[in-house]
């Protein structure tokens, strides 16, 4: 049986549903291109900001099986580096590029109108602060015709309301979720935090956060009509299928690549195809949102409301 694992989000076509998220692996064109050669269907840049980040050292630590704590900030390259050099290099490999912009309204206002000339196919807006994301979207929507996805966090109490409002304000897609936290992990051999941030805190990613991500994806899919990128702990073809059944149109990955290497991209593709063949699915649409039919009320809404 031939299966088609391609997908389309806001008019942007991806040859498979596996996209590189804004993360340490997408820190520059060189590493994005390595992922493309390994089979990734699209890349999200490390987040562009008005100022290049200065990251603490160490900024990333492995704390368990496919679990990371991370205190990295946004990109340590300037937004000019990304727009005038890095994105143009990536686009030579003919895959969609999503420019991540954060974390404040001022960043969206400055950088958004410059993105189209870089060759990027889409914009992803991200903020650590729930009161910034929709205002960022309002500003960005006026300054570009490119599709815009907004990245939401499971840390936000009103995450579902924010997703609904983003759709009303012109978002073309939702990305869910970001890493979870803040968290603290201590190296007991050294008697100190793993991370070099001032408080030792960071953000958790990897397989431990996937159930958080699946819940948020499903809750958003119950409420909006625009497509969703499912992000958080996706590490196998089965995990991709789970995200699709929760309502996602594609997934973004990072942490699994730091543990298993870029070769795992092809492994995940083959696992997804094998699953679809076994279940008799010819395309992702055949089972997108399937699990939502078994959920009896809105996720995140108290019974009786």
What does the pLDDT look like over 198-234, one tens digit per residue? 999 999 999 999 999 999 999 999 999 999 999 999 9
Query: What is residue 211's DSSP assignment?
Result: H
From CA 199, how far away is CA 26, in angstroms rounded? 26
What does the pLDDT look like over 9-63, one tens digit per residue? 999 999 999 999 999 999 999 999 999 999 999 999 999 999 999 999 999 999 9
From CA 240, how far away is CA 1, in angstroms rounded? 19
From CA 40, how far away is CA 31, in angstroms rounded? 12
Nearest 5°: CA angle at 112, between 108 and 113?
Answer: 135
Q: Is the pLDDT assigned to residue 156 strictly greater than 60?
A: yes
From CA 123, how far away is CA 214, in angstroms rounded? 23
Confidence of residue 248 (pLDDT cuts 50, 70, 90): very high
From CA 19, how far away is CA 270, in angstroms rounded? 15
Rama region for 191: left / alpha / beta (φ>0; ψ in -120 to 50; rest): left
Averaged pLDDT for residues 102-129: 97
Q: Is the pLDDT assigned to residue 129 strictly greater than 50?
A: yes
What the chain holds in terms of domains, given with CATH numbers, is: 7-56+73-186+203-294 (3.20.20.70)
How confident is the model at residue 229, as a pLDDT?
Answer: 98
Here the tokens at position 238 are 């089965």
According to DSSP, the β-strands at 122-126 and 97-101 are: parallel
* Whether the Cβ atoms of residue 236 and residue 210 lie closer than 8 Å to each other: no
How confident is the model at residue 290, as a pLDDT?
Answer: 98
Q: Is the pLDDT assigned to residue 304 strictly greater than 50?
A: no
How confident is the model at residue 305, as a pLDDT?
Answer: 36
What does the pLDDT look like over 132-147, one tens digit per residue? 999 999 999 999 999 9
pTM: 0.96
How confident is the model at residue 260, as a pLDDT?
Answer: 97
Averaged pLDDT for residues 187-207: 97
From CA 158, how far away is CA 301, in angstroms rounded? 11
Q: Is the pLDDT assigned to residue 111 strictly greater than 60?
A: yes
How confident is the model at residue 1, as a pLDDT?
Answer: 75
Instruction: Count Cα neighbours of 202 within 13 Å in the Cβ-side half-sphere.
Output: 26
How confident is the model at residue 196, as a pLDDT?
Answer: 96
Calculate what percentage of the chain has a pLDDT beyond 90: 98
How confident is the model at residue 56, as a pLDDT?
Answer: 93
What does the pLDDT look like over 255-303, one tens digit per residue? 999 999 999 999 999 999 999 999 999 999 999 999 999 999 999 986 4
* Whether the Cβ atoms of residue 76 and residue 27 lie closer than 8 Å to each other: yes
Residue 122: closest CA among 67, 73, 171, 180 = 171
Residue 248: closest CA among 264, 226, 276 = 226
Task: Compute the residue count for the chain.
Answer: 305
């Amino acid at each position: 049986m031939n299966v088609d694992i391609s997908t389309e989000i806001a008019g942007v076509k991806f040859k498979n549903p596996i996209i590189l998220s804004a993360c340490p692996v997408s820190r520059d064109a060189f590493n994005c291109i390595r992922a493309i050669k390994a089979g990734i269907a699209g890349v999200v840049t490390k987040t562009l900001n008005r100022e290049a980040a200065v990251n603490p050292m160490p900024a990333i630590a492995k704390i368990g099986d496919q679990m990371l704590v991370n205190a990295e900030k946004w990109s340590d390259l300037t937004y000019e580096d990304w727009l005038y050099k890095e994105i143009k290099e990536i686009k030579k490999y003919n895959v969609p590029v999503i420019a991540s912009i954060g974390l404040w309204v001022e960043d969206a206002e400055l950088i958004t109108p410059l993105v189209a000339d870089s060759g990027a196919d889409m914009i992803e807006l991200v903020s650590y602060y729930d009161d910034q994301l929709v205002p960022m979207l309002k500003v960005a929507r006026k300054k570009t015709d490119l599709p815009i996805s907004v990245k939401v966090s499971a840390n936000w109490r009103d995450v579902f309301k924010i997703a609904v409002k983003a759709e009303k304000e012109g978002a073309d897609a939702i990305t869910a979720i970001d890493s979870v936290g803040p968290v603290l992990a201590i190296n007991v051999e050294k008697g100190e935090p793993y991370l070099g941030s001032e408080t030792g805190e960071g953000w958790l990613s990897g397989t431990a956060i996937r159930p958080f991500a699946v819940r948020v994806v499903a809750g958003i899919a119950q409420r909006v009509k625009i497509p969703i990128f499912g992000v958080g702990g996706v590490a196998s073809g089965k995990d991709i299928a789970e995200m699709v059944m929760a309502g996602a149109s594609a997934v973004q990955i990072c942490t699994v690549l730091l543990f298993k290497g870029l070769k795992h991209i092809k492994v995940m593709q083959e696992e997804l195809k094998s699953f679809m063949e076994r279940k008799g699915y010819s395309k992702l649409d055949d089972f997108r949102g399937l699990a939502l039919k078994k959920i009896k009320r809105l996720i995140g809404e108290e019974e009786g409301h």
